């Protein structure tokens, strides 16, 4: 199997296999700690095109848990620069995922919500309550954080708009029922994209969405998201990454279990990559066997791998070199989604 370079916005990416953005909990006062350096050093290299730092909050106010990475304007950013250099020197392009969790609704720890309707009503009401000034402040924090991290060496910026986070709700037909301009589903995202690209047009700008939210039928939801994507593509975005799920509805869509099909989002990615050839696509979702991926021949389709690379940092390299038998396979211990298990960090399955 060939591992060809790909080009995104002028950057040469050494592989179409990426390390998915993972919220590890490896932080200290919002800054990367030594465990995070070691974690990403092992999960970067020529076989991993982009190594994403997962779920970095745009401000301490918007963290997902007490061990979430976040940015504050008064910080010494030496550790961030050191982390990006470490990834780059090891052979991958450094990437970072910017997230924002605003909701006061307590994240559930069970895998499936007992009452979808109750959560949808609460989250919809909450999103409708945000003032214009509040929303504009979040937009500004995304833009400032992206520019700052790019200048610290993270050439790929992923905007986290999946899994029920603030931007996920903004894009959703189920949760965004606002009657003002912010009720236009891509308005907030478009302002963020334009604000970032106007200052750093040379960055690779990626947005991660939940192609399936798990509320209506998958066919209906994909059709609705397809129409939304039509509106996102004319913006200055370089790549759209596909995940699935809303955290407080069905986490099995975010963390596919052992009975879920292989590469669950690939079929959506293949359809979109064929229909929209002038943009790069990325898919995640239980990728356990690279050789059985169906869209490898599509030049604008890439793959984010999570648990397989957590279990064995050489998962991609071993596969490409024909050493699949030596791979440490994921045993579905579920320690990687640590919050659900009342833990503070990823508990290594190694």
Taking 90 as the threshold, does the pLDDT of residue 344 lie above it? no
Taking 60 as the threshold, does the pLDDT of residue 285 lie above it? yes
Query: Nearest to residue 12, comparing CAs of 235, 204, 239?
Result: 204
Provide mean pLDDT across the span 171-189. 98
Taking 80 as the threshold, does the pLDDT of residue 340 lie above it? no
253-282 pLDDT, tens digit each:
888 876 677 899 999 999 999 999 999 999
Alpha helices by DSSP H, listed for 48-110, are 78-90
Give dist(CA 164, CA 175) in Å, integer. Answer: 9
Taking 80 as the threshold, does the pLDDT of residue 109 lie above it? no
Give dist(CA 306, CA 280) in Å, integer. Answer: 19
Taking 90 as the threshold, does the pLDDT of residue 1 lie above it? no
Domains plus CATH for the chain? 6-341 (3.20.20.70)
Taking 90 as the threshold, does the pLDDT of residue 343 lie above it? no
Taking 90 as the threshold, does the pLDDT of residue 183 lie above it? yes
Taking 90 as the threshold, does the pLDDT of residue 47 lie above it? yes
Provide mean pLDDT across the span 39-63. 96
Taking 60 as the threshold, does the pLDDT of residue 155 lie above it? yes
Of the two residues 114 and 291, the one the predictor is more confident about is 291
161-177 pLDDT, tens digit each:
999 999 999 999 999 99
Taking 60 as the threshold, does the pLDDT of residue 302 lie above it? yes
Q: Specify the pLDDT at position 114.
A: 62
Q: Specify the pLDDT at position 4.
A: 73
pLDDT category of residue 347 using cuts at 50, 70 and 90 = confident
Q: Specify the pLDDT at position 349.
A: 60
Q: pTM for the full model?
A: 0.95
Label residues 40-75 b or e (16+ Cβ within 10 Å = b).
bbbbbbebbbbbbbbbbbbbeebbbeebbbbbeeee
Classify 316 as helix, strand or coil: helix
Provide mean pLDDT across the span 189-218. 97
* Sole residue written with tokens 């559930």: 108
């Amino acid at each position: 199997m060939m591992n060809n370079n790909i080009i995104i916005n002028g950057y040469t990416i050494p592989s179409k296999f990426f390390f998915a953005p993972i919220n590890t909990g490896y932080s200290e006062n919002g800054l990367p700690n030594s465990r995070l350096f070691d974690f990403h050093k092992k999960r970067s290299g020529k076989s991993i095109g982009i190594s994403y730092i997962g779920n970095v909050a745009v401000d301490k106010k918007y963290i997902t848990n007490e061990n979430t990475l976040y940015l504050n304007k008064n910080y010494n950013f030496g550790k961030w620069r050191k982390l990006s250099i470490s990834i780059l020197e090891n052979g991958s392009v450094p990437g970072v995922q910017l997230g924002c969790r605003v909701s006061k609704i307590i994240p559930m720890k069970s895998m499936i919500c007992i009452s979808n309707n109750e959560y949808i009503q609460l989250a919809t009401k909450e999103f409708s309550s945000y003032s214009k000034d509040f929303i504009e402040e979040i937009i500004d924090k995304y833009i400032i954080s992206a520019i700052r991290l790019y200048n610290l060496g993270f050439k790929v910026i992923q905007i986290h708009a999946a899994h029920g986070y603030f931007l996920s709700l903004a894009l959703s037909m189920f949760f965004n029922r606002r009657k003002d301009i912010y009720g236009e589903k891509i308005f907030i995202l478009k302002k963020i994209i334009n604000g970032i690209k106007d200052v750093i047009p040379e960055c690779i700008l990626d947005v991660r969405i939940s192609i399936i939210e798990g509320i209506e039928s998958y066919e209906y939801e994909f059709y609705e998201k397809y129409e939304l994507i039509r509106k996102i593509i004319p913006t200055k975005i370089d790549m759209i990454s596909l995940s699935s799920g809303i955290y407080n509805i069905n986490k099995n869509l975010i963390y596919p279990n052992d009975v879920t099909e292989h590469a669950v989002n690939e079929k959506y990615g293949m359809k979109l990559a064929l229909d929209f050839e002038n943009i790069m696509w990325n898919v995640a979702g239980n990728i356990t066997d690279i050789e059985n991926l169906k869209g490898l021949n599509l030049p604008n389709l890439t793959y984010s791998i999570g648990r397989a690379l957590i279990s064995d940092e050489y998962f991609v390299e071993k596969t490409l070199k024909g050493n699949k038998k030596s791979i440490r396979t994921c045993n579905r211990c579920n320690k990687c989604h640590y919050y659900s298990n009342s833990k503070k960090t990823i508990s290594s399955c190694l």
